[in-house]
């Protein structure tokens, strides 16, 4: 079958280290940490008292207050980045076929803050059932895609993928497949999450998943370091306009990169722990390479899942060595979660954007906060510790893995206008 080619023509980012794509990349390139004491609530009684929050966000600049009250923060974040991506893409919505434009979004949890607030208010009351009429639509994960489609009139496929921390990458792959099969011309795709709340921090603390380095939040997310003690919870959103190549060229769009392959697998092993040998991780990268028609030697950079957990980091590097063999030692590998924290269902979106910027700027963002080598990792691997490294990048692969054993990989290619 003659598959269509898919390119990225617009970007939006709202992250703990920058509220626009440009600010986000500047933070990554300079190794900035987004971690700080929590401001959303009093976290003094929690085991973890810090997170990577979105900062200096004035919602009034982006939406009417009445509209904002109908949305949980995860949808507000989605709307902000969607608008950034639409503007960045230069799309003229009156000149495209809106029935062939869709929204596939990702969120691992959805409206957690809303759910917590509504249930807490009810529990503190006299038992009379008083709930906000927007409780359910604010909470459900699919509402983000619904709001986006309503605003822009996109009448094509519209849904939200929920695969824990793989959600946004899952969404990108689904959008990629619809376009290359000829079922749509473009998608606004990505993911958002807003889980920095009592329920979010408390729940992950109960799982012993979060770092508890309260005395030094900025150094708490330390993937591949011997003293890593869990991930740092983040929040935000990332949006990408994925477009069929000829459709993009016909309107003179700027093209950031080409999306050339994707893979999805399951560990089928444990609800939260990764497979110890990285079985699902290795197979998903192999599938992505096969889908793109590439050899392992073609990849220059891997933006790893790299959450800073004791088990996850080891399993992923084992998987990379299994798939890439000797070429694993010629790759650049880095975890941008060392700077942004873990955005859960939105992680794949901002990490895709990081990979695209790495290609465009010929610069590998660093894995910051490396202090002590861990003998569990092969010292021949270039994990891009502490400082960005200049490198020509033709192909970048981005991994995201989620609770439940969900694995997703996508591969971006430097766009060559002569092809």
Q: Known catalytic residues?
A: 165
CA angle 301, 17, 230 (to 5 degrees): 70
367 vs 143, 208, 332, 338, 381, CA distance in Å?
Answer: 34, 23, 11, 6, 13
What are the residues facing 120 on neighbouring strands?
none
Contacts of 377 (CB under 8 A, 6+ apart): 224, 313, 314, 317, 383
**Cα–Cα distance for residue pair 271/57, rounded to 1 Å:** 35
Residue whose C-alpha is closest to residue 3's, from 197, 259, 234, 257: 259
CB 329 within 8 A of CB 319: no
**Phi first, then psi: what are they for 391, rounded to 5°?**
-165, 140
**Cα–Cα distance for residue pair 43/88, rounded to 1 Å:** 37
266 vs 54, 163, 289, 298, 409, CA distance in Å?
Answer: 31, 11, 17, 25, 12
36 vs 13, 74, 306, CA distance in Å?
Answer: 20, 20, 20
Residue position matching structure tokens 């906000």: 132
């Amino acid at each position: 079958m003659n598959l269509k080619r898919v390119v990225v023509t617009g970007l939006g980012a709202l992250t703990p280290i920058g509220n626009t794509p440009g600010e986000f990349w500047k933070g990554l390139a300079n190794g900035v940490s987004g971690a700080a004491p929590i401001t959303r609530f009093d976290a003094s009684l929690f085991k973890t008292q810090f997170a990577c929050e979105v900062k200096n966000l004035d919602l009034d600049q982006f939406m009417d207050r009445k509209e904002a009250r109908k949305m949980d923060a995860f949808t507000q974040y989605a709307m902000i980045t969607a608008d950034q991506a639409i503007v960045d893409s230069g799309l003229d919505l009156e000149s495209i076929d809106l029935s062939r434009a869709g929204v596939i979004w990702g969120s691992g949890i959805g409206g957690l803050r809303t759910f917590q607030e509504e249930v807490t208010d009810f529990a503190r009351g006299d038992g009379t059932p008083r709930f906000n009429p927007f409780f359910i639509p604010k909470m459900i994960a699919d509402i983000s895609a619904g709001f986006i489609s309503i605003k822009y009139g996109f009448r094509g496929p519209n849904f939200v993928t929920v695969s824990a921390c793989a959600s946004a990458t899952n969404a990108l792959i689904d959008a990629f497949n619809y376009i290359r099969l000829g079922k749509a011309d473009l998608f606004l795709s990505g993911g958002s999450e807003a889980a920095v709340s009592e329920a979010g921090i408390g729940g992950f603390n109960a799982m012993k998943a979060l770092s508890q380095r309260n005395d030094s939040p900025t150094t708490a997310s330390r993937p591949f370091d011997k003293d890593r003690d869990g991930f740092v919870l983040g929040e935000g959103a990332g949006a990408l306009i994925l477009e069929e190549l000829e459709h993009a060229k016909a309107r003179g769009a700027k093209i950031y990169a080409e999306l050339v392959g994707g893979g999805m697998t399951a560990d089928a092993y444990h609800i939260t722990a990764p497979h110890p040998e990285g079985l699902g991780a290795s197979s998903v990268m192999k599938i992505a390479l096969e889908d793109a028609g590439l050899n392992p030697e073609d990849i220059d950079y891997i933006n790893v899942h790299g959450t800073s957990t004791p088990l996850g980091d080891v399993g992923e590097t084992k998987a990379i060595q299994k798939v890439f063999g000797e070429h694993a030692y010629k790759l650049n590998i880095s975890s941008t979660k060392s700077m942004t924290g873990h955005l859960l269902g939105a992680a794949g979106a901002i990490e895709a954007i990081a990979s695209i910027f790495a290609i465009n700027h010929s610069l590998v963002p660093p894995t910051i906060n490396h202090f002590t080598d861990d003998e569990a990792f092969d010292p021949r691997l270039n994990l891009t510790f502490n400082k960005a490294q200049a490198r020509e990048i033709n192909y970048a692969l981005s991994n995201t893995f989620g609770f439940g054993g969900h694995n997703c990989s996508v591969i971006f290619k430097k766009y060559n206008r002569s092809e």
